[in-house]
Structures are given as structure tokens and as C-alpha cells.
Amino acid sequence: MQMLCAMALLAAGRRGNFEPLFAYGIILSIVAVAVMLAIASSRRENKRTADLKQAAESLEFEFVAKNNAEYLKSLKSMPLFSRIGRRQKILNLMRGRSSSIEVAIFDHNYVVSSGQHSHTRRQSMICFQSDSLSLPDFTLGPKGFWNKIGTVFGRENIEFETHPTFSENYALRGSEPEAIRSVFTDQVVDYFEQNLGYSAEGSADRLLLYKASKRVPPAEIAAFLEEGLKVLSLVHAG
């Protein structure tokens, strides 16, 4: 491509017409850089998929790399999946089961728009489903993120006077405040105070945990699962 640009510029120079081809050369250079970046990104994603597959195998979980539309559809009752973003995808889905608890760990991608610009957000999530769970619908997340979309959920923050650090850092919303307070015992609130940055959602028999717009490295998937199980045990204990 560079050789062709050079030949074209040389020919243009002989005709005394550099400006149009100079602009053309800049455009070709931009396209070439964009292609190189796309190739590099594809390689990174392929490596992530391969590494996550190994992580799933070590946990003895099933693994599906491609977009899993059926599992995404099953999550539509949860606020994040039903009300935020476009072109949602679930990739690198790992699924396992222990006793009555089904565990799913996955990458969640979705597109957000701001004016004429749009970008893709990517985050790792863990979702527990159990018949022993009976949760009111709630959303929890850092105030810096959730305050921006508070009007989407249309609920006031649920705060705890006994835990000012939690109330200063988190937005907790839902249509049944008293039922949500019964889930967020002192132990649950203490956990989120000590582990700032997490987001969580509950709905009926499902509990979701993640950090907004952050993906977990494959080497840290086992630790991510351990953190999720801690939250699940605290919610069960309540």
C-alpha cells in the first residue's frame, strides 16, 4: 500500500498535482492504521477466549465462546439487560452447577450512545440462580455510574444511617425498599463498604455481581467466583 502511494505521488509530481494525492495518501494511511488496530484487537479477543476456555476447564464448567442469545434472553427480567444499551452480547459463557445453585460467568458487551458518538462497554459478570433465592428487584452500583442513569430506573436511593460509607458511595434502588433492606443486612452492607466498586442486581431467584465496564482477566476468574460466592452466602444468611 505504501509503495502504491509513493508511486502515485511520484506520478502526480510529474503532473504538478500533489495536493489531491497527498490527501488521498493520508486517508490510506488512516485506513491502514485502523486495519492494524482491528487485527490487534481481534488477536487479543481470541487470546482472551482461549484463556477463558482454559479457566472454565479448570473449574469443570461448560464453555461457549460465541454470542449466547438464549442465555441473554433469560436475563431480560433483570434491569441492566432490559433497560440499558443496544446490541447486547454475552460472550465466553462459563456455566456450572453445584447442588441447587447454577453459576454463570461471562463477558457482557453493549453499545451506549452520546450525541453522535457511540462506544462499546465490556464487563465481566457472575450470575447465580437458585430456587432457594427469593429476592426483590434491586440494583446496586457506585454512585458515579448509577446517578447518570438514575432517571432510567426512576427510584430514590435507599440509604443506611448506620453505614454512611455505603450510602456515600453506592446507589441502591428498587420498588420494595423494606424488602430490599431485609436483604441488605449489616453483613451484606459491610461487604460492599469493604469492596467498593462492585455492582449487584437481584431479581427473584437470580443474583448478579460485576464491576461496571471492567473485565476480569482470565487468571483471576477463580478469585472472581470466590468473591461471588461470598456475596451469595451473605445474602443467603440474611
pLDDT digits (tens, 9 = 90+) for 105-135: 999 999 887 667 788 899 999 999 999 999 9
Give pLDDT tens digits for 46-96: 999 999 999 999 999 999 999 999 999 999 888 888 766 678 999 999 999
Indicate whether 52 belongs to any domain. no
**Cα 39 off chain centre by:** 22
Pair 202, 132 in one domain:
yes
125 and 172 co-located in one domain:
yes
Q: For residue 34, is it within any domain? A: yes
Residue 87 is part of which domain span? 71-237
What domain count does the chain have?
Answer: 2
| Lowest pLDDT segment from 47-56, 115-124, 190-199, 219-228 | 115-124
- How do strand 117-130 and strand 101-114 relate by DSSP bridges? antiparallel
Name the 3-class secondary structure at 158: coil
- Is 58 within a domain? no
- Same domain? 87 vs 204: yes
Beta strand residue intervals within the chain, DSSP E: 62-64, 86-98, 101-114, 117-130, 135-142, 170-173, 199-204, 206-210
| Residues 141, 177 within the same domain | yes
- Contact by Cβ (8 Å): 107, 122: yes
Q: Is the residue at 66 inside a domain?
A: no
